[in-house]
Amino acid sequence: MESSSQLYSQGKQMLGMLPGQYRSGGTGTAIRFAMAECSLGCLLVAETAQGICAISLGDEPEPLLKEFQTRFADAELLPPDPAFDAKVARVVSLIQDPQQRLSLPLDIRGTAFQQRVWQALQQIPPGTTLSYQALAETLGQPGAARAVASACAANTLAVAIPCHRIVRRDGSLSGYRWGVERKRALLERELESKESE
């Protein structure tokens, strides 16, 4: 298991922005972003030079944009270009058909534990769910179910890091950063795709 210092020492290769840059609102970082519509509502996608750093879903564009601008208050925000528009279209396609994999580089930022949770989430096949407890056990930390839930809540890459595949121990749906109804819709799409294979 990697310690936080080992993980952070890998710097930009693992985390894109260094932790200090992220905490300071993205100082010195250029971030390209775009808003789009998808079947789950409004979508915001953003990327740094290292990869996709934000995928957010919402009912209205303004709150998504405000949260994004607050999180990266000191970054240089750039408009989309044709190459980035193509990446946004791939994110929209993934939302429509979650059986796909998003084969784009991700600029993922978080603590060492969060990184481990997010990597484990990416290993859960579409149409499959795990409980917070089961994921904690998979990580070799059976007492960390609440920490797993917190890491899921801290995920800023909807669908690309599929925290929607984590459910309560009894199988019921619990909180989802972008709304429980979106979580339900994503899981239903995955199950339908799985059953039609």
Whether 53 is catalytic: no
∠ Cα 98 101 106 (to 5°): 115
Q: Which helix (H) or strand (E) holds 138?
A: helix 132-138
**Burial of 74: CB neighbours in 10 Å, binned 0-12, 13-18, 19+:** exposed
Distance (Å, whole) CA 25 – CA 175: 26
Set 42, 53, 152, 163: catalytic member:
163
User: Is beta strand 30-38 parallel, antiparallel or unpaired with respect to 76-78?
Assistant: parallel
> Any idea which residues carry the catalytic annotation?
163
